[in-house]
Amino acid sequence: MSREANQKYKLIYLIRIMESLTDEEHSLTMSEIISELEKYGVSAERKSIYDDFEAMRTLGYDVIGDESGRYYAYFLGGRKFELAELKLLVDSISASRFITDKKSKALIKKLEEFTSVHNAKQLERQVAVFDRVKTMNESIYLNVDMIHSAIAEKCQIRFKYFNYTPKKEIEFRRNGEYYYVSPWALIWSDENYYLIAYDSEDDKIKHYRVDKMTKMDLVDAKREGAAAFKQINVSDYAGQVFGMYSGRIERVRMEFDNELAGVVIDKFGKDVNIIKTGSKKFVVSENVCVSNQFFGWIFGLGMGAGIIGPQSVIDEMNSELRKRLEGEK
């Protein structure tokens, strides 16, 4: 591009310079700004830059002039995101199992564009601190987008569902046959995304791990299962289904030591009804998915937690405990 053409974009280049190179801790003198513009093939005089700063302020940019020693320097103050907010977003992305490592790095790189190059270095350091095991399914973002489209268009979807073998190879369920379901909601539970959908073949609401779905397509068929979906409370669903494994939903009475109150509230929410049964214990009654994962959660809390009703669930848990003890022999 010719120098004359570059002059037309002087304001854009100036905005780019101020966004990238300045912040509250780093400013540029007028001479430095002129020098940076020269790198874009743009020549500028001080007066024209003053005019450009006023134009930037009119557009909502927080251009601040600060007397630093013998020189007056300028920096960009308020931004769309504060540094603390960007760190929070970076931490969330880095810690999320749902987002692949490759996509995490790409998203964080984009977030760095909302701050100066100086502050961006702080965001890069955050990545190493919050290293987590990541999903390996790169198509998950397309899956989420397609599910949202299906929900909005009230149509069905099809997909293949898989698990990983001990050799870390994909093994399709149903011998690779397609699942046909009616999608109703997406929820986040236990660091994973789940699709809540109606399976007309089994006439029931089921859930599926989105990162275990592949070869997804929209189906030209009207969504079904409205009546079944109305019978569940989506906000309570994740709390009832431990580890999002299937099982029957039943109201279970559990007794806990007082020290486990925080654990119980984390699992069932602050609205959980806690009934004191003495100076050291309390009882809660909640609808849960009775499954081995639920029993495993109770076992994991040690002697401070137990199921006290109904008897059928107590018997089922005792049976599971005997199996585990016999397996250790």
Q: Token pair of 287, please?
A: 């609808």
Asked if pLDDT for residue 192 goes beyond 80, the answer is no
- Helix, strand or coil for residue 69? coil
202 burial level (CB within 10 Å; 0-12, 13-18, 19+): exposed
> How many residues make up the chain in this entry?
329
Token pair recorded at residue 13: 């280049």
d(CA 55, CA 63) in angstroms, rounded, equals 10
**Lowest-confidence segment of 22-26, 122-126, 228-232, 305-309 by average pLDDT:** 122-126
What distance in Å separates the CA atoms of residue 285 and residue 289, rounded to the nearest whole number? 13
- Give burial (CB, 10 Å; 0-12/13-18/19+) of 121: exposed
- Contact between residue 119 and residue 111 where contact means Cβ atoms under 8 Å apart: no
Cα 234 to Cα 185: distance, rounded to the nearest angstrom: 8
Q: Which of 68-82, 215-229, 257-271 has the highest mean pLDDT?
A: 215-229
Instruction: Please count the other Cβ atoms lying within 10 Å of the Cβ belonging to residue 118.
Output: 13
Say which residue the tokens 């909601």 belong to: 185
pLDDT of residue 189: 72
pLDDT at 27: 93
pLDDT value, residue 247: 67
> Which residues share a beta bridge with 189?
192
pLDDT in tens, 265-284: 877 877 888 999 888 999 99
- CA-based max dimension of the chain: 86
Residue 141 phi/psi, 5° resolution? -70, -35
In the numeric block, which tokens belong to residue 240?
């009832």
Please identify which residue in the block is written with the tokens 């603390």: 84
Residue found by looking up tokens 């970076």 in the block: 90
Q: What is the DSSP letter of 272?
A: -
Helices assigned H by DSSP within the chain: 3-8, 10-21, 30-39, 46-58, 83-95, 101-111, 117-129, 140-153, 226-230, 234-240, 261-268, 292-300, 311-328
pLDDT at 130 over 50: no
Q: Are 224 and 182 in contact (CB under 8 A)?
A: yes
What's the Cα-to-Cα distance from 155 to each of 31, 146, 204, 206, 226, rounded to whole Å? Answer: 61, 11, 17, 17, 12
* Rounded percentage of the chain residues whose pLDDT exceeds 90: 46
Phi-psi sector, 48: left (phi>0), alpha (psi -120 to 50), beta: alpha
Query: Lowest-pLDDT range, 97-101, 177-181, 208-212, 288-292?
Result: 97-101
Chain mean pLDDT for the chain: 85
Query: What confidence tier does 131 reach under pLDDT thresholds 50, 70, 90?
Result: very low
Q: How far is it, in rounded angstroms, from Cα 292 to Cα 290?
A: 7
Can you give the pLDDT at residue 125? 57
DSSP state of 279: S
Is the pLDDT at 109 greater than 80? The verdict is: yes
- Contact (CB, 8 A) for 224 and 270: no
Predicted local confidence at residue 49, as pLDDT:
94
Structure tokens at 205: 């609401």
Mean pLDDT over 188-217 rounds to: 87
In angstroms, rounded to a whole number, what is the distance separating the alpha carbons of residues 298 and 236?
A: 19
pLDDT above 90 for 93? no
pLDDT tens-place string over residues 149-175: 999 999 999 999 998 777 768 889 999
Sheet holding 275-276, edge to edge: 275-276, 281-290, 248-257, 305-309
* Contact between 150 and 157 (Cβ < 8 Å): yes
* 126 pLDDT higher than 60: no
Q: Which two tokens stand for residue 237?
A: 């669903």
Statement: the pTM of the whole predicted model exceeds 0.95? no
- pLDDT grade for 48, boundaries at 50, 70 and 90: very high
Under 8 Å between Cβ of 287 and 236: yes
Least confident of 26-30, 134-138, 316-320: 134-138
